[in-house]
Structure 1
Amino acid sequence: MNPDIINVLTLIAYVIYFMLPAYLANVSALTFGGGTPVDFGREFRDGRRILGDGVTWKGTIIGTAIGTLIGLLQGIVIGDVIHGTLLGFCLGGGALLGDAAGSFLKRRLKIDRGRPAPILDQLDFVVGALILASLVMSPSPVLIITALIISPILHLSANIISYLMGMKNVWY
């Protein structure tokens, strides 16, 4: 196999592994969320909900815990439990903060919950995760760019599979 292809595939595998706490935190918040919304049903000054019913305390707490747990496991693998745990917490919590920021923007743009906002829906959590992760380490430009390219592909692929399996009502 061509060494350049091997290098690209290795980079993609590394970025997926690195972003795993963010990816799993994001999906866990959706899967195990529900209950009290983070905005407690309050409206912003424009009369629309601050975040909406999709961003809940339960989902945020469980998602962040899952991201932290994944980071802990990765820390065990690399032999630095404290760094792995902190990074997992930042990636997981950052993903959910980014998703909440995306919900805030969608409400301001008058996009209802569950309606698509291409690019924003696929990248808000990635940007949030990378920003918070930068408190613990300095992601390289190559890691950042690769994460921004592959995350939308993974996100849409997972959504399409979930839709085909009857787990989601929409493919996006």
Structure 2
Amino acid sequence: FKEYYSDTSHLAPMKYLYQGLEGHSDLVSWIWTATLFNLTAFFLFLIPQTRENQITLNIGCVLIFIGVYIEKGMGLVIPGFVPDVLGDFYEYSPTSTEMLVTIGIWATGLLVYTMLLRIAIPIMNGDFHVSEDGVNPHIGDDLFLVRSREEADPEADLLAQ
């Protein structure tokens, strides 16, 4: 907020982002939502009782993640180009297609992360073992490969049909 100390042309992107400028205010609700999320998460992390509670800790983590994502994605790149060199304003708001693509990318990343954790956590905890034949990996007492191909029921296997 140091830009507010002097009234120069460098203040225009900040005013556009937080207050709207010359009737253009598409990003104002986005940045105030991000600010609210970040402040709420900050106070959840600041208070020891909420910081030690798993539910409020997870809520704070989700809020700070979404808040920073909005702030750095919508609030850093877009206002840097508003107004442009000639003083024109171009409004931008993400379309539903852009939002769905973003959600799909994050969902794919979380899926890969989850799949990798299913192997990494048992290895880190010392629960991942290999059977005596050196072929079948298992976690604790549960084998990953419980049955061989000969033991598989072809009627239950959808890929065999």
So what's the TM-score if we normalise by structure 1?
0.29
Which structure features the higher share of helix residues? 1
Q: Quick check: which has more Rg, 1 or 2? A: 2
